[in-house]
Structure 1
Amino acid sequence: MAVVVTDGRLLLIRRSAPEGDLVWALPGGTVEASESPEQAAVREMREETGLEVEALQLLGERIHPDTGRHIAYIACRPIAGVAHAASPREVSAVAWVPPGDLGSYVPRGLYPPVQAYLDSCL
């Protein structure tokens, strides 16, 4: 999952096909056999939002409690483009969310290392 913060806001995507009650999420997807989690975050960001990013650091990894998938959270910096729903099959909308509004997008809160990163840069 790519964690992108700019102008005091976090980029979230609205999945075209929600997984249970997971509607809004960080951009991301499957790590291909030939790539690192950082490379996957950069690729998925481009495919899902059209935004070019640079991977900065791994924030943490876990088995997601709702999906059972292994997730790596990568802090990324935008370098080019404008975020939009670049893959309608996967993404129906994008939103740059200020910290005070995150609870309405992610009601159960963010993974603690991601939240700590946000607290340090927001």
Structure 2
Amino acid sequence: MSYSTLSNGSKVTSAVAAVIEDAAGRVLLCRQAGGHRLWGLPGGKIRTEESPVHAVIRDIREETGLETEIIELIGMYQLTGDACGSTTPDLFVHVFRGRLEGGGPALNAPGRISGLAWHSPDALPEPLTATTRTAIADSAAGRTGVIREVERDKEPAIADA
């Protein structure tokens, strides 16, 4: 796992994600298997000595069983705030636009995610991560190279299994 420490002493976790659309313009989302079972973009934490591009390709392969072509960087997002408790570290996420190579995605990491589904950017499921919501809006607007600070959402109730 890749952590950095800011000058104020707080820790930051580095992660990656990708906005992947199908031919109908729907976005691929993953639902977490544990915790608050949030919906989010496919991706995960960057491992030590791993580049963001290699990390996102690896994580998408692990979650969907498919290879991904990375097209461009949508943006870099720092998820911050104490809405989930003051001990939650900031998360710095590189979000790419990607395209799946091969067939349809299949749930390939049931310990980490409980489902994969295509959703219209206009009808996203809840609970959804704040970073996902912001990155999809930036992607739909055609933005690239965005740098944003995103405020963490208040912890949702834990969804039923």
With the shorter chain as reference, the TM-score category is: 0.7 to 0.9
Pairing partner for 2:30 from 5, 9, 13? 13
Task: Supply the distance in 2 between the matched residues of 1:119 and 1:51 (Cα, whole angstroms).
Answer: 26
Q: Which residue of 1 aligns with 2:18?
A: 2
The normalised TM-score by structure 1 is 0.81
> Is 1:88 paired with 2:110?
yes
Q: Is the 8 A contact 1:47 1:86 kept in 2?
A: yes
Task: Supply the distance in 2 between the matched residues of 1:2 and 1:102 (Cα, whole angstroms).
Answer: 16
Decide which moves more: 9-18 or 73-82: 73-82
Q: Which runs of 5+ in 2 are unaligned?
A: 1-16, 143-161
CA shift at 1:61, angstroms? 1.0
Describe the shift of the 1:85–1:12 C-alpha distance in structure 2 as closer, same or farther (beyond 3 A): same
Q: Deviations over 1:83-109 (max 9, x none)?
A: 122111001000100122115453857
Task: Supply the distance in 1 between the matched residues of 2:44 and 2:126 (Cα, whole angstroms).
Answer: 23
Larger Rg: 2
Task: Supply the distance in 1 between the matched residues of 2:138 and 2:78 (Cα, whole angstroms).
Answer: 18
Across the two proteins, how many residue pairs are aligned to each other? 117
The CA RMSD over aligned residues, in Å, is 2.2
Q: Is the 8 A contact 2:39 2:126 kept in 1?
A: no
Task: Supply the distance in 1 between the matched residues of 2:109 and 2:98 (Cα, whole angstroms).
Answer: 20
The normalised TM-score by structure 2 is 0.64
Q: Which residue of 2 aligns with 1:71?
A: 93
SS at structure 2 position matched to 1:29 = strand
Pairing partner for 2:47 from 32, 38, 50? 32
Describe the shift of the 1:92–1:22 C-alpha distance in structure 2 as closer, same or farther (beyond 3 A): closer
Decide which moves more: 94-103 or 84-93: 94-103
> Is 1:62 paired with 2:85?
no
**Structure 1 vs Structure 2: percent identity of aligned residues?**
31
Task: Supply the distance in 2 between the matched residues of 1:73 and 1:118 (Cα, whole angstroms).
Answer: 13
